């Protein structure tokens, strides 16, 4: 053996030495390879024909089940080629082939006259000395240079790990110092390891590891060149890789921690699995070996450790990127929570898994049930009676969807409110803010039951308490894109500063860098529309310019010509750039995202017709929720000619290649074949991230994605993604004092008195009182609102009333104290607001569409860009508490002026580069002005005149910043007073109105 301390053999030797130090035995095939004392060595006789270390298996059986060892021909004096031995080893080989090695280790099986054979003894419960002794009898053996092939006898693996003679992991090691890396190890598995060799067949090992001194990758199923190796790194600076290790090799966490016998035993018992799926058409079953990724293992173990230490009553936010395997993480967590212990007893009585993604509802259920040792404890709740029945029957894991959950929990009996619950929420931002949270919390809370002789004050206190997260439940909220409410409700305090952060994160940055998901911002193309509108009437009427412009834009974008032209661009691009370039091996699909159901149908018809015209072999599918058009119910099946439930399967099959959607399938839909997205819908914030993320699912052969966006700029999409690239934190927390301010402001309006609130709430809580006593109070207050307040004050009051109800509804979930006065006012305002009429508003843009027509229309694709994101934690501002509403006086302009300005803004300005300048004026400049803190403060708190003064200062700074890149634009702004006035007014109109949004 080489004495070079830095070569591959020395790495191999070091790993074995360190594994022996934590409980492994070195399997000795050649004594010359020994690196440790003989007391840590055992003989190994790997038999390639059976894919087993028969010697270690025989030793294990003889030591734990001697009668069984004799019966199957593996006793001390048994002949090596006896019929009993041959039959048993053939049976064992067949069981592993059918069900996987992890199943055999967990479940064992019977053979011939032996009713049951154990191949592994699990981790014992505390105090069970017999089980503890059996567990210690497991034989953990790691062997070097294992010759695995009965044909090519010279080929060997660097390391193989065995449990009781059954192989569980193989290793190919490389050393970057000798110019080889983990990539070379992957190639060795893909090219030089025949997947038909018994040891490499599916299910015969938990994982195959490619390792160097810096990185780790693994593959659960080898498939030759198609073997898909995934990183098993810890992550570094929210990205790929591993942090420096001051105490050893960067990758030694793999063999010193993850594969330490106690950890590997936990993986065998609770994580690794072979799942089965049946093809709905052929009926054939296929199996898939699953091994946890590092971040999945880490989050589940971290959560379980915290529950074991602190018990129930905590909240956890887990920010794991889309495509990170959240469904498996949730299933593994649920399965192990039912066995978690705290202070000597079960930490939870029941685990409720709540998902708002219907497609994952069944996926999570099937994954949990794959663990057969708890399969009988799993139930699926469709109705409230199902949940009650499941709890009474002792079901420990109950799965439901958030759509059903409020109805399910509403009728829970009071006898269940004293139980301890763990509630796992998939996509927390959708599931656990607002009414669903209050219903869920109130139903599970031990304090939630009514009591005899309860006073109105007692009932109010109970109503307040019901909205808090109860002390008898813990919440585990999984999301890729936490909103500010989600962070404030579930996040952990940030040490040393204000704000909240996730308990655990696996970031979008790390997922992209590791190849778990694709970066959907790398192939982004904006498609700009240019058009000219003309008058069709002789007169020149006046219209509200702001509203008229919106109507004109909608008119143009919804015009049959525009939809047809954009549909042609989509179809031509799909054929040339997606099909023509053989994306995903020629299997790529596309999605068209539209604004409304009507628009989706228009696009579907245009795409369908154009596909036929160009002789395409492909077809489109349209997806939307049922709606009524011209008094007739319209469904997807009316257009697709097959049931709605078949859409996810049909889009995977030819001839269907293009899916046109309106909201449905825009989020929460996983289809790795999606490669290209055509967007004709304004997107922002979380919705933009979730929508484009439909493309990011990785699969073999998928190396890129493409987005053609007809409605958003690259800067708008970048701004939406920025907060979620790395860990998302809440910059501060919502100040409850804002409720005091709102309460005082509302009281000063004189719409109601304290006595009105007190009397109304007292009557409202009296079950014997009907509406005839409640409505007169609300109607009298509504009259005061109409008669005493002018239009602006009405808008302000109603907006602030809504803000109070909204903010209190949220803060009541998290405040450490109760305020009965706020609860009373929230009840009162919540029922008063619907009684307050909106100020009458005359639409001064009505009729403008009857006075115009489209003279010309053209579309231009911009160059493809790669949108880059800032490499820093994303910060979200706390939940806003202001009302922010006010009336906006219409700006009346002549039709000719409106059309001239509209045409100017969208294509006819006489600049050197009109396209670029148009983007600057309509998008970049307003966005930069909006980010100015002084202007934001002025818009929120000052009148229009003072806000415009702040706008002038903000715009001046923005234009100064464009001096170098946009000299012509800056010169026009400085030297041309008319242009400066026009630009200032245009930017002010487009930004000041946003205070009312």
pLDDT beyond 70 at 44? yes
- pLDDT bin (cut points 50, 70, 90) of residue 997 is very low
What the block records as the tokens of 499 is: 């704000």
CA pair distance 250, 359, nearest whole angstrom: 39
CA 822 to chain centre: 35
Structure tokens at 966: 């946009």
Q: Is the pLDDT of residue 407 over 60?
A: no
Tell me: pLDDT of 262 over 50: yes
Q: What is the largest CA-CA distance in the chain?
A: 111
Whether omega before 655 lies within 30 degrees of 0, making that bond cis, reads yes
pTM for this predicted structure: 0.80
At residue 920, the pLDDT reads: 79
Question: What is the spatial distance between Cα 907 and Cα 532, in angstroms, rounded to a whole number?
Answer: 8
Q: What does the pLDDT look like over 292-302, one tens digit per residue?
A: 999 999 999 99
Give the highest mean pLDDT range of 259-263, 487-491, 743-747, 899-903.
Answer: 259-263
Q: Which of 111-115, 378-382, 547-551, 769-773 has the highest mean pLDDT?
A: 111-115
More confident residue, 814 or 162: 162
C-alpha 666/C-alpha 675 separation (Å) is 14
What does the DSSP assignment read for 826-853?
Answer: HHHHHHHGGGSPPPP---TTTTGGGGEE
- In this structure, the dihedral spanned by the alpha carbons of residues 148, 152, 156 and 162, taken in order and rounded to 10 degrees, is 0
Which residues, listed in sequence order, are joined to residue 628 by a DSSP beta bridge? 633
- Which residue did the predictor score with more confidence, 101 or 541? 101
Q: Report DSSP state, residue 850.
A: G
Tell me the mean pLDDT in the region 35-50.
75
pLDDT at res. 996? 40
Structure tokens at 75: 């006793």
How many whole angstroms separate alpha carbon 858 and alpha carbon 464?
58
Q: In this structure, what are the phi and psi dihedrals at residue 539, rounded to the nearest 5 degrees?
A: -70, 175
User: What is each CA distance from 787 to 122, 215, 783, 839, 893, in whole angstroms?
Assistant: 76, 73, 6, 12, 32
pLDDT (average), residues 924-931: 84
Q: Is the pLDDT of residue 33 over 50?
A: no
Q: Assess whether pLDDT exceeds 60 at residue 440.
A: no
pLDDT in tens, 97-146: 999 999 999 999 999 999 999 999 999 988 899 999 999 999 999 999 99
Q: Is the pLDDT assigned to residue 906 strictly greater than 50? A: no
Q: What is the pLDDT of residue 195?
A: 95
pLDDT of residue 165 exceeding 90, the answer is yes
Residue 757's SS3 state is: helix
Task: Report pLDDT digits (tens) over 226-251.
Answer: 999 999 999 999 999 999 999 999 99
Answer yes or no: is pLDDT of 281 > 60. yes
Highest mean pLDDT among 261-270, 481-490, 626-635 belongs to 261-270
| Token pair in block for residue 270 | 């609770």
Which stretches of 746-844 are assigned E, i.e. beta strand?
none
b/e burial code for range 252-265 (CB count within 10 A of at least 16 → b): bbbbbebbbbeebb
In whole numbers, what is the pLDDT of the chain averaged over residues? 83
Low-confidence winner among 92-96, 372-376, 799-803, 955-959 (lowest mean pLDDT): 372-376
d(CA 272, CA 286): 17
**In whole angstroms, what is the distance from residue 217 CA to residue 914 CA?**
50
Please tell me whether the peptide bond between 133 and the residue prior to it is cis, using omega within 30 degrees of 0.
Answer: no
* pLDDT at site 663: 84
For residue 177, what pLDDT band results from cuts at 50, 70 and 90?
confident
Structural contact between residues 209 and 232, judged by C-beta atoms closer than 8 angstroms: yes
Q: Does residue 969 register a pLDDT over 50?
A: yes
Q: Tokens in use for 867? A: 């949108």
Strands 341-342 and 728-730: unpaired
* Secondary structure of 544-601 in HEC code, one letter for each residue: EHHHHHHHHHHHHHCCHHHHHHHHHHHHHHHHHHHHCCCHHHHCCEEEEEECCHHHHH
H/E stretch holding 161 reads strand 156-163
> What three-state secondary structure class fits 428?
helix
621-656 confidence digits (pLDDT tens): 999 987 877 778 899 999 999 999 999 999 999 999
Tell me the pLDDT tens digit for each residue of 571-604: 999 999 999 999 999 999 999 999 999 999 999 9
pLDDT at 628: 79
**Count, residues in the chain:** 997
Least confident stretch, 175-184, 278-287, 711-720: 278-287
What average pLDDT does the segment 935-941 reach? Answer: 77
Question: For residue 878, is pLDDT > 50?
Answer: yes
């Amino acid at each position: 053996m080489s004495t070079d301390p830095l070569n591959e053999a020395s790495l191999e030797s070091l790993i074995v030495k360190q594994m022996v130090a934590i409980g492994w035995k070195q399997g000795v095939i050649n004594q010359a390879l020994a690196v440790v004392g003989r007391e840590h060595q055992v003989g190994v006789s790997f038999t390639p024909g059976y894919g087993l270390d028969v010697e270690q298996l025989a030793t294990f059986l003889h030591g734990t089940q001697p009668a069984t060892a004799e019966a199957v021909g593996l006793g001390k004096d048994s002949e090596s080629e006896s019929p009993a031995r041959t039959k048993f080893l053939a049976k064992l080989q067949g069981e592993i082939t059918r069900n996987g090695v992890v199943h055999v280790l967990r479940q064992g099986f019977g053979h011939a006259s032996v009713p049951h054979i154990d191949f592994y003894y699990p981790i014992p419960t505390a105090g069970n000395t017999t089980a503890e002794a059996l567990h210690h009898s497991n034989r953990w053996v790691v062997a070097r240079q294992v010759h695995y092939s009965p044909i090519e006898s010279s080929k060997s693996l660097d390391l193989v790990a065995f449990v009781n003679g059954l192989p569980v992991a193989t290793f190919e090691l490389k050393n970057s110092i000798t110019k080889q890396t983990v990539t070379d190890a992957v190639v060795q598995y893909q090219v030089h390891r025949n997947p038909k060799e018994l040891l490499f067949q599916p299910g015969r090992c938990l994982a195959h590891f490619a390792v160097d001194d810096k990185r780790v990758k693994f593959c659960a199923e080898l498939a030759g060149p198609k073997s898909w190796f995934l990183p098993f790194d810890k992550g570094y600076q929210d990205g790929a890789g591993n942090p420096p290790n001051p105490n050893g090799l960067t990758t030694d966490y793999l063999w010193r921690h993850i594969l330490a016998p106690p950890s590997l035993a936990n993986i065998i018992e609770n994580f690794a699995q072979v799942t089965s799926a049946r093809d709905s058409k052929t009926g054939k079953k296929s199996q898939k070996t699953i091994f946890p990724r590092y971040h999945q293992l880490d989050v589940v173990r971290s959560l379980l450790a915290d529950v074991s230490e602190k018990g129930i009553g905590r909240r956890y936010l887990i920010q794991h990127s889309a495509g990170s395997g959240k469904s498996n993480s949730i299933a593994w967590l649920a399965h192990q929570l039912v066995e978690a212990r705290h202070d000597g007893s079960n930490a939870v009585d029941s685990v409720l898994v709540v998902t708002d993604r219907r497609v994952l509802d069944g996926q999570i259920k099937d994954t949990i049930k794959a663990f057969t040792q708890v399969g009988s404890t799993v139930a699926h709740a469709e109705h409230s009676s199902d949940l009650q029945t499941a709890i009474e029957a002792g079901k420990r894991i109950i799965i439901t969807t958030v759509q059903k959950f409020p109805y399910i929990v509403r009728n829970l009996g009071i006898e269940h409110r004293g139980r301890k619950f763990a509630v796992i929420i998939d996509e927390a931002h959708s599931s656990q803010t607002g009414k669903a949270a209050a219903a869920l919390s109130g139903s599970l809370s031990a304090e939630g039951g009514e009591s005899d002789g309860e006073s109105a004050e007692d009932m109010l206190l109970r109503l307040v308490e019901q909205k808090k997260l109860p002390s008898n439940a813990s919440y585990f909220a999984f999301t890729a894109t936490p909103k500010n409410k989600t962070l404030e409700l579930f996040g952990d305090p940030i040490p040393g500063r204000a704000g909240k952060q996730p308990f655990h994160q696996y970031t979008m940055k790390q997922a992209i860098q590791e190849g778990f998901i694709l970066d959907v911002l790398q192939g982004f193309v904006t498609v700009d529309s240019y058009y000219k509108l003309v008058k069709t009437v002789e007169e020149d009427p006046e219209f509200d310019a702001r509203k008229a412009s919106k109507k004109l834009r909608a008119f143009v974008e919804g015009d049959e010509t525009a939809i047809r032209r954009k549909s042609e661009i989509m179809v031509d691009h799909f054929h040339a750039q997606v099909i023509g370039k053989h994306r995903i091996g020629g299997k790529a699909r596309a999605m068209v995202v539209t604004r409304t159901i009507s628009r989706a149908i228009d696009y579907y018809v245009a795409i369908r017709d154009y596909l036929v015209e160009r002789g395409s072999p492909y077809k489109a599918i349209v997806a939307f929720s049922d709606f009524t058009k011209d008094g007739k119910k319209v469904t997807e099946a009316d257009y697709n000619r097959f049931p709605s439930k078949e859409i996810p399967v049909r889009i995977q099959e030819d001839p269907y290649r293009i899916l046109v959607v309106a909201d449905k399938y825009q989020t929460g839909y996983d289809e790795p074949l999606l490669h290209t997205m055509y967007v004709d819908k304004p997107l922002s914030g979380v919705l933009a991230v979730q929508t484009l993320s439909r493309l990011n699912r990785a699969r073999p052969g998928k190396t890129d994605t493409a987005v053609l966006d007809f409605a958003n700029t690259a800067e708008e999409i970048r701004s939406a993604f920025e907060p979620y690239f790395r860990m998302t934190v809440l910059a501060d927390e919502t100040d409850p004092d804002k409720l005091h301010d709102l309460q005082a402001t509302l009281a000063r309006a004189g719409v109601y008195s304290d006595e009105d609130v007190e009397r109304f709430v007292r009557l409202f809580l009296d079950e014997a009182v009907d509406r005839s006593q409640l409505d007169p109070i609300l109607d009298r207050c509504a009259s005061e609102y109409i008669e005493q307040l002018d239009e602006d004050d009405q808008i302000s009051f109603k907006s602030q009333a809504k803000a109070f109800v909204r903010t209190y509804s949220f803060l009541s979930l998290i405040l450490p104290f109760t305020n009965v006065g706020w609860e009373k006012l929230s009840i009162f305002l919540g029922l008063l607001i619907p009684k307050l009429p909106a100020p009458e508003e005359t639409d001064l843009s009505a009729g403008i569409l009857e006075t115009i027509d489209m003279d010309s229309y053209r579309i231009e694709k911009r160059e493809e860009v790669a949108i880059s994101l800032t490499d820093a934690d994303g910060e979200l501002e706390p939940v806003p508490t202001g009302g922010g509403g006010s009336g906006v006086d219409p700006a009346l302009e002549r039709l000719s002026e409106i059309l001239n300005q509209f045409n100017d803004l969208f294509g006819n300005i006489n600049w050197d580069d009109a396209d670029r300048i148009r983007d600057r004026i309509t998008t970049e400049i307003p966005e930069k002005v909006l980010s100015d803190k002084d202007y934001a403060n002025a818009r929120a708190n000052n009148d229009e005149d003072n806000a415009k003064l702040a706008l002038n200062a903000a715009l001046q700074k923005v234009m100064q910043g464009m001096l170098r890149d946009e000299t012509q634009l800056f010169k026009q702004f400085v030297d041309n007073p008319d242009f400066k006035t026009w630009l200032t007014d245009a930017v002010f109109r487009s930004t000041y109105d946003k205070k009312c949004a």
